[in-house]
Structures are given as structure tokens and as C-alpha cells.
Amino acid sequence: MKTQDMNRDWHATARTLSEALPYMQRYSGAVVVVKFGGNAMGDTAAMAEFARDIVLMRQVGINPVVVHGGGPMINEMLEKLGIESKFLRGKRVTDQATVDVVEMVLTGLVNKRIVQAIMDEGGRAVGLSGKDDDLIVCEADDPELGWVGRPIETNVQVLRDLMGAGIIPVIAPVATGMDPAETYNVNGDTAAGAVAGALKADRLLLLTNVPGVKGASGEIVTALTPEEVRAMIEDGTIAGGMIPKVETCLDALERGVRGVVILDGTVPNACLLELFTEHGAGSLIRHANLPKHGAE
């Protein structure tokens, strides 16, 4: 590369950092819950990039909390064991054999991979499940779904303790029931929303494989209020698998989260684009009287 081109690249990098400074200042001290999932979890390079972004967020004073899924890995293990997967209304029907596999894969494989990736990038991370310290306590979501849980209690003191020590919590969405012997499989988005609500997070970032909520003409709507979301569900603009995602967003807002963003997790540095640029990324859902950025 020519020296002139290298200088141009360095100047572009410096300008980007300078432009990001006001947003870093606004989010300093804020809690940001990130739901991480999808095929990117099985890609080493994508995992490392995600981990680097999380470590950077912590480095500039944000308190990130990662909640992850692991559907592809669960499917792979169930297939190896000859256990049939069934889905009802977008949720995995979970019998006792399935919930045992879900717990094994999420807490023993996926969770530790994410923790290790964060540590490899210079961060400090601790893996948890919703069963640790009764972090997430559930009841049955629907008898037809078996051991699929709906959070009824979220005890986040352990997360506050970790964040206070500069440690990034990484949470697998497996929970206990009112009977401690029970184990529930919890939808990753649902678990992330419950945790974000209990922490009164400034942001909940739902990383998906779509760029956001689409309007009637197919365009991505970058900013929405809860009232607008409900109207779009009512008129059919929001449909299919996007409905449970936006319902998670609305529930999180009702629990005290300041803003929820649905964004494409396959875009490089998606979290940083959302937090540290004016245009953001994806669709931000928040109450109309709150500022777009920052924890003030």
C-alpha cells in the first residue's frame, strides 16, 4: 500500500474515533444488554469480531451483558442423539430429553465459547445460566410446549456484582422453576428482555438475521414508538416471526428499558454502529419523550 493511501486510512480511522466520542460519553456507565445468536455463533471469525466489540464497549465505560441462544448447535446435537425436534408457534417443544440436551449445549458448549472469545480479546467474562443464583425463575409458558419457560422472577444482583468488578456476564437462557428441581428452556430474546428489564438497561440490542422492522413498502423503519409498533401489528405490516420479537421489545420497555433495537447481527460491528454513530443501525423502539442516544 502506498504511503499516501495509508495516511488516508489512518486519518479516516482517527476521524471515526473522534466522531464517536460524544456517543461514548453519553453511554458511559450505561447498561447495554446484547442478545447474541444465530449462525454467527458457529463462525470463528464472526465470534471473535463480536467479542472484540463487547470488550471495546466495556473499555469505554459501558456495562455490557450478553444473553445468547444456540439453536443451530442444539439442533445438531439433537440430530446426533436421534431426538426429533418439533416447533410450535416458533418455539421448540421441549420434553425432558430435549431440555437436558438444551442445558448441556447452551451452558456447557456455547456459553463457554463466548466467554473464551471475550477473554481472547482481552476482556474479563464469566458464564452463567438463568439457574445460577436464581437469576431467572420461570413457570411453564404453555403446556403444549413442555419445559419451555416464561420468566416470572429475575434476580440480577449477581449481574450487578460482576459488572461492578469490571466483569462481563454471559448468560445462557436456561432457567429454574419455582421448584428448584425444574429446568426450563427459555427463548433467548425473552430471557434477554427479562434481564434488561430487571437491570433497567439503557439499551437492549437484539441481534438477528434481518436489518430491522420493515414498513408497509418494505423499507426499514429506523425509529418507532410502542404505539406505532402496535398499530403495525394490527394492520398486518408487522407479521410472522417479527411479531414475537417486537412483543419482546414492548415488554422490555414496560419493564423499564429505555430503548430496544432490532438489528442485523451479520453486519460487521453492528453493536458499535448502533451505539457510536448518529445514524445507528436497525430499528430503535422507544417512548417518544426519550432522547435517541445516551443514558442521561
> Sheet of 136-140: strands edge to edge?
149-154, 136-140, 174-177, 183-185
- Grid cell for residue 222: 429506523
Q: C-alpha distances in angstroms, 21 versus 24, 27, 30?
A: 5, 10, 15
Residue 52 marked as a ligand binder: no
Amino acid type, 12? A
Contact, 292 vs 25, CB < 8 A?
Answer: no
- Grid cell for residue 119: 477473554
| Burial of residue 208, with CB atoms counted within 10 A of its CB: 0-12 exposed, 13-18 middle, 19 or more buried | buried
Residue 90 marked as a ligand binder: no
Q: How many degrees, rounded to 5, is the angle at CA 104 between CA 102 and CA 106?
A: 65
- Grid cell for residue 34: 446484547
- Grid cell for residue 200: 433497567
Burial letters for 129-155: b for 16+ Cβ neighbours within 10 Å, e otherwise? bbbbeebbbbeebeeebbbbbbbeebe
Beta bridge partners of 203: 32
Cα gap 211→204, rounded to integer Å: 16
8-state DSSP, 187 = -
Contact, 132 vs 161, CB < 8 A?
Answer: no
Residue 160 marked as a ligand binder: no
Cell 450478553 found at: 66
Per DSSP, the three-state class of 239 is: coil
Residue 71 marked as a ligand binder: yes
- Residue spans of beta strands (DSSP E) within 223-282: 223-224, 260-264
- Binding site for substrate: which residues? 70-71, 92, 185
- Binding site: which residues? 70-71, 92, 185
